[in-house]
Chain A
């Protein structure tokens, strides 16, 4: 068994597509109509056959309170690996991305947390082994 797909719940798929591709730099993989929404996945350009990220609609009524409560406490929904958190922090900040936590050493790992503009906080991390 292996992890083939993971997801984030996004307020607006079109906006999410734009942010996750144009700002974060992911590449769209699948975009299939699915009952009023889209099966919309992105992958890393460094790993196009790797784990897909599904930009899943957040329409269920339970989702908004869940996401709002996480964001208020600064809790990221998921984590992406980057080679250099500081460099990524500077690149994304220049593109107008808002960070709730600047690069911070958390033991051996350096992390930062930003707002994905689609209702989630996302953590980026540099691990010394990567």
Chain B
């Protein structure tokens, strides 16, 4: 399990999440194209693939194979403990979450 904060620390990874927010369920090719044309990020396909692996390990991105294609989906679930810890503590059980797992 990769720390969500570590996954969010990199600007390219945050931009990937931005683009998945714009349209969920993208191939690696589409993500690379959006990063290059919308953000001027000329990272190699291999580098983007590694960023996606890290986001997936943190639970922020889920991949699903549909037939012969592989699509990437945003999962905001791992962000909920962050909100509960600082923004809405009444909703949490009062225990700092996440750190023991990372």
A interface residue numbers (CB < 8 A to B): 68, 71-76, 100-102, 104-107, 109, 111, 113, 115
13 intermolecular pairs with C-beta atoms under 8 Å apart: A71-B68, A72-B65, A72-B68, A73-B27, A73-B29, A74-B27, A74-B69, A75-B28, A76-B29, A101-B30, A104-B33, A106-B37, A113-B30
A residues near B68, Cβ cutoff 8 Å: 68, 71-72, 115
Q: Closest CB-CB distance, A24 to chain B, in whole Å?
A: 19
Q: Closest CB-CB distance, A29 to chain B, in whole Å?
A: 29
Number of contacting residues on B, CB 8 A?
17
For chain B residues 33-48, which have a beta carbon within 8 Å of chain A?
33-34, 36-38, 45
B residues near A102, Cβ cutoff 8 Å: 23
A residues near B28, Cβ cutoff 8 Å: 73-75
Is B70 within 8 A of A73, CB to CB? yes
The DSSP consensus for interface residues of chain A is strand
Known: A73-B29, A73-B70, A100-B27. 12 other contacts (CB 8 A): A72-B65, A74-B28, A74-B29, A74-B30, A76-B29, A100-B69, A101-B26, A101-B29, A104-B33, A106-B36, A107-B38, A109-B37
For chain B residues 42-76, which have a beta carbon within 8 Å of chain A?
45, 65, 68-71
Count A-B contacts at CB 8 Å. Answer: 51
Is A72 within 8 A of B26, CB to CB? no
Select one of A72, A75, A106, A109 contacting B34, CB under 8 A.
Answer: A106
In the bound assembly, the distance between CA atoms of A48 and B33 in angstroms comes to 32
In the bound assembly, the distance between CA atoms of A72 and B64 in angstroms comes to 11
Smallest CB-CB A-B distances: 6 pairs? A74-B27, A74-B29, A107-B37, A73-B28, A106-B37, A75-B29
